[in-house]
Amino acid sequence: MSRRQVNDGDRARQVLAQEAARIIVEQGIEDYHVAKIKAAARLGMSERGSLPGNTEIEKAVGEHLQLFGRESHVDLLRVLRRAALSAMELLVAFAPRLVGPVLHGTASANSAVNLHVFADNAEMVANRLQGCSVQYQPFERRLKSRRDRAETFAAFRFTQDESAIEATVFPVDGVRQAPISPVDGKPMRRADRNAILRLLET
């Protein structure tokens, strides 16, 4: 394969990653694979070998937000992280941790604040929300607990400080082992309250 062919392939991946990032930000799509397929169809690039990896997509999302958002994106992250702190205070009894785009700095206006909480059963979290007169919607989230194994977890969607919150419930001992990130295949990065406070100070 010639150097030109390699460079053309790299360029194609970059263009596709940028288009997928635009779709993710503008349409609020969370599934990177879905965004890649949509971007490939829109650009007429259907070859599987041309599809960028999830880490390339995440990088492109960050670059897109920096390019088109700038100060407004910084303000958005601050709002979402403060909403995360508020929701974590509400669910403090369940050792909440922040995960996902709001933590990584790749959240858009369509992003929810994603929390992991830990309880003996999901009903305890529901009871806490009810006790605080918080309206919520239960749903299920499927996550990889290991590379070859996926599990379904109870979750709750609600609003805190005008921001969408999604809290996924894990067993109490689940705090020791994070599920696998769909982006890089490594254990998800989790942040406690103090880590978020440090982010807000920067």
Quote the pLDDT of residue 144.
86
Residues 104, 42: one domain? no
What distances in angstroms separate CA 66 from CA 24, 57, 81, one per listed residue?
14, 14, 17
CATH number for position 166: 3.30.460
Residues 175, 80: one domain? yes
Distance of CA 59 to the CA centre of its chain: 13
Q: What percent of the chain has pLDDT over 70?
A: 91
Residues 18, 43: one domain? yes
Q: Last residue of some domain: 48, 68, 88?
A: 68
> Comparing 3-17, 22-36, 52-66, 130-144, which segment has the lowest mean pLDDT?
3-17
Q: What is the per-residue pLDDT across 41-90, written as a single tens digit (0 to 9) for each?
A: 888 876 556 678 888 888 888 787 777 766 678 888 999 999 999 999 99
Amino acid, single-letter form, for residue 89:
E
Burial group, residue 186, by CB count within 10 angstroms (0-12, 13-18, 19+): exposed
Better-predicted residue by pLDDT, 145 or 86: 86
Quote the pLDDT of residue 48.
59
Residues 36, 94: one domain? no
Residues 51, 122: one domain? no
Mean pLDDT of 165-174: 96
Strand partners, 139: 155
Which domain, by its residues, includes 48? 3-68
Q: Is the pLDDT of residue 5 over 70?
A: no
Residues 94, 28: one domain? no
Strands 149-160 and 97-99: unpaired
Residues 49, 102: one domain? no
Number of domains composing the chain: 2
Better-predicted residue by pLDDT, 22 or 3: 22
DSSP for the chain? --HHHHHHHHHHHHHHHHHHHHHHHHH----HHHHHHHHHHHHT---GGGPPPHHHHHHHHHHHHHHHTTHHHHHHHHHHHHHHHHHHHHTGGG--EEESHHHHT---TTPPEEEEEE-SSHHHHHHHHHHTT--EEEEEEEEEEETTEEEEEEEEEEEETTEEEEEEEE-GGGGGSPPBPTTTSSBPP-B-HHHHHHHHH-
